[in-house]
Each structure stands twice: as C-alpha cells, then as structure tokens.
Amino acid sequence: MGELSGLGGEVSAAAQTRFRPILGLGEEATLGALMVGALVVGVGVMPWIYGLVAFHGHWEKMLHPPVPGHVVLDVVANILVMWSAIALKGRFDRKLAGVFTRTLVVHGALAFLILVGRQWYSIPMLLTGVLASSLLGAVFTLARQQNVRLRIGVIGPPHRRLEDPKLDCTSIDNPDAPVGRFELIVVTIDGELPPRWTPTLARALLAGKRIRHVSEFLEETQGAVAIEHFDVDHLPEGGLTSYRTRKRLLDMLCVFALLPLAVPIVAIAGLGILVTMGSPVLFIQPRVGLGGRVFRMIKLRTMRLATPGAESTATSVGDSRVTPWGRWLRRLRIDEIPQMWNVVMGDMSFIGPRPEWTALAERFSREEPAYNYRHLVRPGITGWAQVRVGPAADLAETRVKLGYDLFYIKQFSFSLDLQILIRTVWTLAAGGGAR
C-alpha cells in the first residue's frame, strides 16, 4: 500500500513526509501552483488567441475601445472555469462533465450580461472562449488528477488494489489515532464497521475529511469496480435498455458517416495483406456477445497462419506470429475496421467490453462468475478496459480488465462513451495498447 505501516496512535515522521506530488510540493502548494498556472494561461496566452481569431493577428485593433473590455471579460470567464475545474473532486469522468457544465454556465452568464448591457461583442471571441474554457478546464482537471496524491488513512485489513506506489496510504490501527493529517479515510472492512471505529469516523467527518469504502474509492480514482463487491443492484436504476436503444441508433449513424473513409482504408490494408501474407485477408472467429449469444467477429488478418494442430493462444506482447505489416495495422487499429459490419448486424457496438473468443469466455466464466455480467451489453470495437489497461493475455490480466468492464456496465451512459472515444483517439495518436 505504498507501505502500510501501523500507527499505534501516531503516524511516523517518514509517513508524514512521503507526500510529494509536484516537484516536492504538498497538496495545498500543488493546488496553488495549478491556480497560478491557470492565471498565467488566462492573462498571458488567451488575449493573443482572441486577437488571432477575431482580428487575424492585427493586434493593434485590440487596443481600440470597446474591444479591451470584451477581451477582459472573456479572459476572466476562462480563468473562472479553470479554477473551478482544479477544485473539482471525485471520478474523472464526472469532473469532465462538471467542467463542461461550468463552461456553459460561466460563458452563458457572460453572453447574457453582454446582451442585457448592450455591449460590443465578437461572436468569434465568444465561441473561442467557450472552446478554450472546455479544453483548458479538461487539461487542468487532468493535471490535478495526475499530480495531487491524497494522504489516505486506511481502516481495516490491507487491500491488494491499494498496494500501489502511486498511493500514499497509511494504516490506522488505533481508533484513537489522529486523523487530521489525512485528506481521505478509506475503509476496507466488509460488512458492519465495529463500534470502536465510530468515534474515529465521527472525528474525521467533523474535521471535514471524506470517508469512502474501498470499493467507492477504487471507482472514483481508478475507474474500476472491486469485483468482490459488485452486485446486480449496482446497475443503473433505469436499467440498461433505455440507453442501449439510443446507443444502437448512434452506432448506425457513425457507421454511415465513417463508411466513405473506411472502405478505401480497408481495401489498401487488404491489398497489403495479400502481398505480404497471401490469403485469406480476413480473420473470422466465434466470439461471445450480448446475452451470451455467439457471433462471428471479422478482422483483417495480422498473423501468420497457424500450423495444423497447433494450440490457439491469446496474443502476447511482441508475439512473433504477428507480421511486420500486421503489426502496423494493429498499431493504427486498422485491423478492427471490418468489425463495422458486426456493428451493422447488431452483434457489436462501437464502444463496449471487447468480445472474447468462445473457448476463453467459457473458461473465464467458470473461474470468475462475475465475468458473465460483461454480456449485459453489446461488446465493442473499443471499450473502457481497452483504453485503460489494454488487451489481456491470461486470467490474471482478465480479472483486472473485468473490474473496468463492470465499471462501464455500472456507469453505462453517453458521457462515459464520449470519454472512451476521446481516450481511444489519444491512444491511437500515441500508438499505445497494441500487441
């Protein structure tokens, strides 16, 4: 747990000095640095961007009244959004939703004041301000997420998912131990908390500390479900059917929108496969989909043909069966494009848990019963587990991915799909996650 150590009523000096998020700064100093950074970006960068957009680089026009007043209001709106984004707490996807909400509120209020006051305004500036606040707010939210490590007090037995050097965890063994030095208290005890810990939690609440069960903490910070704590009662109250219907319509719209681009890319990739590997061009394999139904998933072939009688295994990192051309196709995810046909047929969605080969799915279902919950939604070409941890080659890696897949099912929504789409584009640009 980043070294769980007993308190015995006190926290060691070493434990107190281990918290060093950014360049040796504590949390308060880190937040201060981020806020100063937001101020510098707002005052030092945004006016130049507004001048470039509204006046095409003729900066002298920005000095003519009443332009400076409009620029100042836009910059203030940008800074307010960035500062509020830095202060957001909770899960990252909810933070992003909070950023967009605050952007609409702040810039909506700005537009309202301009119209009511009959002030001069520039539509390009207003639109640029909204876009800049959204992007900058998301950037500073990510900076806070990545760099601020909470000092965590753990009540209960060690938990394997907390054994991460990135976490600053200290075990609280004594109910009378001070809790003021922690930003967060995580409880790992299953069932009812022993009465002796009630005063401890009360003191923490009175001191303004957040208290989370380990399952809630993992969801908020890692976007994964603790499998041992997952239950069907955790599924959305409205069920999965409502969004699943809208999601199906969005999938079909995306297919028709991407088809003119996808067809020539697949044709060129297929020709490269014929030249470098010969036929067949396509790789077709039975996979398990919605409700446990088996379908035939289509991909471009990226591996050499298996020797007759050879045992089929999952693709591993640096797998020698993948050809140079196939490795390039995998890196850019071009081999996945033919699965758009599976989307059209209703077997898959663009976003969802990756469909597993039938033989492996049967094995995983026997060894991990919660695995069957993956089949509550359509499998996807990309998914939450794919963009967070990548492919799995064995049962241990599959269990890790399962936590992310169950999180996706539990939080089944358009906002999460949008975040997955953004992360997928980033992963493709970075060239990561492929095997």
Q: Does residue 353 contact residue 379 with C-beta atoms inside 8 Å?
A: yes
Looking up tokens 């202060």 gives 87
Q: How many domains does the chain have?
A: 3
- State which residues form the domain around 33: 27-147
Same domain, 370 and 298: yes
Domain identity same for 50 and 97: yes
**Contact in structure between 162 and 154 (CB atoms under 8 Å):** yes
Beta strand 151-155 pairing with 184-187? parallel
Query: What residues pair up with 398 in beta bridges, in sequence order?
Result: none
Residue 7 belongs to a domain = no
pLDDT in tens, the chain (435 residues): 333 333 333 333 333 333 333 334 456 677 888 999 999 999 999 999 999 998 887 878 888 888 899 999 999 999 999 999 998 876 677 788 889 999 999 999 999 999 898 888 899 999 999 999 999 998 898 888 776 667 889 999 888 778 777 678 889 989 999 888 888 899 988 878 889 999 999 999 998 888 988 888 888 778 888 887 777 777 766 567 778 889 999 999 999 999 999 999 999 999 999 998 888 999 999 999 999 999 999 999 988 776 555 455 555 555 677 888 888 898 888 999 999 999 999 999 999 999 999 998 998 888 888 899 899 999 999 999 988 887 777 777 888 899 999 999 988 888 889 889 888 887 787 665 555
Same domain, 384 and 251: yes
The verdict on residue 112 lying in a domain is: yes
Tell me, yes or no, whether 184 and 245 share the same domain.
no
Alpha carbon distance 41, 139 (integer Å): 12
Q: 336 and 286: one domain?
A: yes
Residues 72 and 135 in one domain: yes
Among residues 126, 89, 124, 87, the alpha carbon closest in space to that of 104 is found at 126
pTM of the predicted structure, to 2 decimals: 0.68
Say if 143 falls within a structural domain: yes
Task: Tell me, yes or no, whether 122 lies in a domain.
Answer: yes
User: Is 94 part of any domain?
Assistant: yes
Q: What span, in angstroms and rounded, lies between the C-alpha atoms of 99 and 93?
A: 10
C-alpha to C-alpha distance for 224 and 160, rounded to whole angstroms: 14
CB atoms within 10 A of CB 125: 21
Whether 273 and 401 map to the same domain: the answer is yes
